[in-house]
Amino acid sequence: MSQVIEEDQRIIEFDVRTDEMLVNMGPQHPSTHGVLRLVLRTDGEIVSELEPHIGYLHRCAEKIGENLTARQWIPYTDRMDYLAAMNMNLGWSLAVEKLMQYEVSEKARHLRVLIAELGRIASHLVGMGAYGLDLGTFSPFLYAFREREKILDLFEEACGARLTYSYITVGGLTADLPPGWLQRCEAFLEQFEPIIREYHTLLTTNAIFVKRTAGIGVLSPEMAVDYGCTGPVLRGSGVDIDMRRDGESIYTAMYDGYAFEVAVMKDGHYPRDHEYPAVPVDAVLGDCWHRFFVRMLEVVQSMDLVRQAIDRYSRCKGPLGEPLKLAEKLPAGDAYLETECPKGQMGFYLVGDGSAIPWRVRARSSSFSNLAVAPELCRGCLIADVPAVVGSLDIVMGEIDR
Amino acid sequence: MAEFLMNTVGLPTWLAWSVTAGVAAFLILNVIAGGALVFIWAERKIAARIQDRLGPTRTGGRFGWLQSLADGIKLLAKEDLMPDGADTLLFRLAPYVSFCASFCAFIAMPFAFDVVGQRLNVGVFFVIAVLGLEVFGVILAGYASASKWSLFGAMREAAQVVSYEVPLGMCVVVPVMLAGSMDLVTIGEKQAGWLTNWYLFHDPFTFVIFWVYFTCAVASVNRAPFDLAEAESELVAGFHTEYSGLRWSFFFMAEYGSMFLVSGLAAVLFLGGWNGPIPIAELAGWSDGSAVTAPYAVRLLGCANLLAKATVGVLLMMWIRWTLPRLRIDQVMTTCLKYCTPIAAAMFAGVMLWQLFLPGGLLPGGRRTAIAVREGWLEQAVEKPEDSSAVSTDAGSSVSQQLAGVAER
């Protein structure tokens, strides 16, 4: 890391020292994704130190969880990663099911995959659009939201809500899909596919975008593992871990029989299951560009998974199954489960004491660990790189502060 | 108009000149301010269309064309905030400095042949110099706001604009060299005739340098991807973070005024000014003065031509803004110092050599010869005393001249 800084041509005139300035970036700042406060120590444009201050969105969600039954806490998980609430629901539901050793029906399992992967697409679309915004281009943000809206329309049809779904719940899902939903979902995928190329033109391969992201905020695989980074941030550094493949059996069983290749650079290349733009020469494994690119690949990967799930779900006979009772008693014991959420590995921990209300509820947020690495990445960069780096981590404050 | 007031109405000279100046200033100010309003509306509509939205649709009919006016009224009604630690005088002064700089430059900007606020024999120099003053407003605003973000914006602006003045100046010198005059009206006149007479198509070097000019112009008026001074994702709103209401809108007007100015300047310097791609007026025989209204029709057509070209330039800037991400400050400086400046210098040398060795162009029987070029310089040298006398006795705006002409008839 230090070597990178020394060779960096941007940093000139180290001997002309001026006074350092302390700047508050946030909590009311356009590019801090909510209420993150970054305290920057800057020397002119150069950031010598960055310190994230969190807690502006703390709502005691975990403590609330210790006063509600497992199913009643589902709406609170919606408000963690509110951009991928479906995946949050799924994480908590699976953790509770793991404690109860409960298995959902085959149909519910495929529907969960379908919904979770759509949720992943929706989340990555925001991540992509907002990243464009961080770099000063507004249009991709709206293009991303245009497509996200269509996913939200589908979700709304399925569960009635557009942001906080509480759709996937302990023991299954609250409702089955309405008639015609699968066709509409397929139609969406059909028209969405060519649009991804548009995103690649506007951002991924755009010369200015590459200039702003390639080689910036390089996160080495070792550091990524040390800081507990997960999800696209970890895979962007070339570490081949994806909970959908490497997780606990209750989670990987969900994806049993699904064909997908983890979006990670292996042997110098990304999966070749689709046409992807070439990696620019300036890009270094683990930089902002790679983190962004992994997300873009995961969108395509999720589309494949959704297609497979639609196929399997429609072939499933039999009922979807009812979710568990609201006040279903939890067995004594504890369970911890990490699932692959769009932002990274989201872990839920709960301790049951025989009553319906868990004795302890804890959540492990991926964004929290991913943000923790930001001070390392931003040391010695320019002020303009701070949004670029923090944006590439794709954090959600609702999940960090809980 | 001044003569008309002096001779026909019988006003004293000083009053006649003052009235003339007032009328000219009123016309320029309103045309440009009105233009800025239109451009703000256009930007909103264009941005909306680029982003798959509708934009303003309700204020003033179907297309929301009153939106900028409504916004203006809203801004008027807003509370005028000033930060506690702000330097009161400079904070208040800054928007006006920017605004005046941007709008003053239009004095020398010709809209058609001799439809110009004040024909200056150093018009190019004047426009560039006055436009360069706009940066002072931004620096003052950044310094006086007592906000760190504003200060960052001002610092960036200072570094960026000062750097980009260099290649911009080099680009602007090329048409000056070709025309042998710094008078914008003369430069425009020299490009009369068909499309091929435009300096853009003069030789390959001018074609390249036009794009260098456009890049530098975008940078010098702080438009994306060079809008670092107000980079909203990094510096909140940059130099105008602490401004609100009408003061803020003055910065906004200045920005749009400058955009229009540099586009208009591009049109005059490279795109034939008020001369259309096809010399309709000449072909139709309007310019021989056979009809009374012909000169006015020609000028009106010229105005329309220039406004159309300048508008295309502005729209191009908007298109760029809503498509590209923002560059980083070091990349902006690299673009300027490593690319724009050397390219501009090389192209400048190229145009010079072209003028020297291939003044008639590559085609046989080209219009320009070395002698003609030299004559151009001579002509200018001879014209100068006439020009200066014309300026001193007839310094009213050409608009006023026209009005005077109408009155005499």
Q: Are residues B132 and B229 in the same domain?
A: yes
Local structure of residue A22 (DSSP, 8 states): E
> Looking at residue A153, what is its pLDDT?
92
Alpha helices in A8-105 (DSSP H): 61-65, 74-78, 85-100
β-pair partners for A360 = A351
Residue B386 lies in a domain: no
Torsion over CA of B189, B194, B195 and B201, rounded to 10 degrees?
-70
| Same-domain pairing of B89 and B71 | no
Is B127 a domain residue?
Answer: yes
pLDDT at B62: 77
H or E element that contains B347: helix B341-357
Helix (H) or strand (E) holding B370: helix B370-393
pLDDT of B409 reads: 39
Closest CA to A19 of A44, A39, A40: A44
* Substitution target from A13, A40, A142, A205 for chain B, most B beta carbons within 10 A: A142
| Residue B118 amino acid letter | Q
B232·A30 Cβ contact <8 A: yes
Strand segments, DSSP code E, in B203-315 are: none
> Which token pair is B239?
């130099």
Instruction: Please indicate, yes or no, if residue B376 is contained in any of the structural domains.
Output: no
Nearest by Cα to B38 from B296, B399, B302, B310: B310
Residues B242 and B304 in one domain: yes
pLDDT of residue B381: 56
Chain A residues near residue B48 by CB distance under 8 angstroms: none
Query: Could you give the C-alpha distances from A224 to A86, A230, A286, A387, B173, in angstroms and in order?
Result: 26, 8, 9, 19, 54
B124 with B36, same domain: the answer is: no
Q: Which residues of B touch A30 (CB under 8 A)?
A: 232-233, 236
A29, pLDDT greater than 70: yes
Same-domain pairing of B21 and B126:
no
In this complex, do B152 and A383 lie within 8 Å of one another by their Cβ atoms? yes
Instruction: Decide if A80 touches B, using CB distance below 8 A.
Output: no
What sign does the dihedral B183-B299-B255-B219 (CA atoms) show?
negative
B377 located within any domain: no
Domain closes at, from B49, B77, B105: B77
DSSP H or E run through B257: helix B245-269
Q: Which residue has the higher pLDDT, A171 or B378?
A: A171
Domain finish residue from B20, B44, B77: B77
Is the residue at B219 inside a domain?
yes
Task: Please tell me the predicted confidence (pLDDT) of residue A152.
Answer: 92
Is residue B406 scored above 50 in pLDDT? no
The string of pLDDT tens digits covering residues A107-154 is 888 998 999 999 999 999 998 888 988 888 888 888 999 899 999 999
Q: Using a CB-CB distance cutoff of 8 angstroms, which residues of chain A are in contact with residue B53? A: 142
Whether residues B232 and B343 fall in one domain: yes
**Which tokens go with A76?**
């609170």
Residues B223 and B277 in one domain: yes
Q: What is the dihedral of CA A8, A9, A11, A14, to 10 degrees?
A: 100
Q: What pLDDT band is residue B237 in, cutting at 50, 70 and 90?
A: confident
- For an interface test with A, which of B49, B232, B234 has the most A Cβ atoms less than 10 Å from its Cβ? B234
- Collapsing DSSP to helix, strand or coil, A283 comes out as coil
- Is the residue at B391 inside a domain? no
Q: Same domain for B48 and B93?
A: no
Query: Distance between CA A212 and CA A42 in Å, rounded?
Result: 19
B53 contacts chain A (CB < 8 A) = yes
Please work out, in degrees rounded to the nearest 5, the angle formed at the alpha carbon of residue A269 by the alpha carbons of A263 and A272.
Answer: 65
| Cα distance between residue B8 and residue B17, in whole Å | 14
- The domain total for chain B is 2
- Do B105 and B29 share a structural domain? no
pLDDT at B228: 79
Contacting residues of A for B242, CB less than 8 Å apart: none
Task: Indicate yes or no: CB of A208 within 8 angstroms of CB of B324.
Answer: yes
CA distance B222 to chain A (A): 13
Please report the pLDDT score of residue B254 as a whole number: 86
Q: How confident is the model at residue A6 (pLDDT cuts 50, 70, 90)?
A: low
* B152 and B245 co-located in one domain: yes
Residues B298 and B236 placed together within one structural domain of the fold: yes
**Does the CB of B387 have a partner CB in chain A at under 8 Å?**
no
pLDDT over 60 at B288, yes or no: no
pTM score of the predicted model: 0.81
Asked if residue B88 belongs to a domain, the reply is yes
What pLDDT score was predicted for residue A8?
55
pLDDT at B387: 44
Higher pLDDT, B85 or A224: A224
CA torsion sign for A199, A202, A206, A211 is negative
Which residues from chain B sit within 8 angstroms of residue A133, using beta carbons?
A: 233
- Give residue A392's identity as a one-letter amino acid code: S
Burial degree of A301 (CB within 10 A; 0-12, 13-18, 19+): buried
Residue written as token pair 């700089």: B101
Mutate to test the interface with B, among A12, A18, A138, A203 (most CBs of B within 10 A): A138
Which pLDDT value is given to residue B337?
A: 87
- pLDDT at position B295, please? 66
Q: Which amino acid would we find at residue A303?
A: M
How do residues B28-64 score in pLDDT, each as one tens digit? 888 888 888 888 888 888 888 888 888 888 887 778 8
The residue length of chain B stands at: 409
For residue range B157-189, what is the model confidence (pLDDT) as tens digits?
Answer: 888 888 888 888 888 888 888 888 888 888 887
Q: Which of B77, B105, B122 is the last residue of a domain?
A: B77
Q: Is the pLDDT of residue B335 over 50?
A: yes
Q: Give the three-class secondary structure for B154.
A: helix
Q: How many CB atoms lie within 10 A of CB B385?
A: 9
Tokens for A148?
Answer: 């996200």
Whether B154 and B43 map to the same domain: the answer is no
Whether B334 and chain A come into contact, CB under 8 Å, resolves to no
Please give the residue of chain A at the shortest CA–CA distance from B231. Answer: A136
Whether B197 is covered by a domain: the verdict is yes
Which range of residues forms the domain containing residue B12?
A: 1-77
Residue keyed to tokens 């000014």: B273
Cross-chain CB nearest to A136 (options B47, B50, B233) = B233
Please report the pLDDT score of residue B404 as a whole number: 45
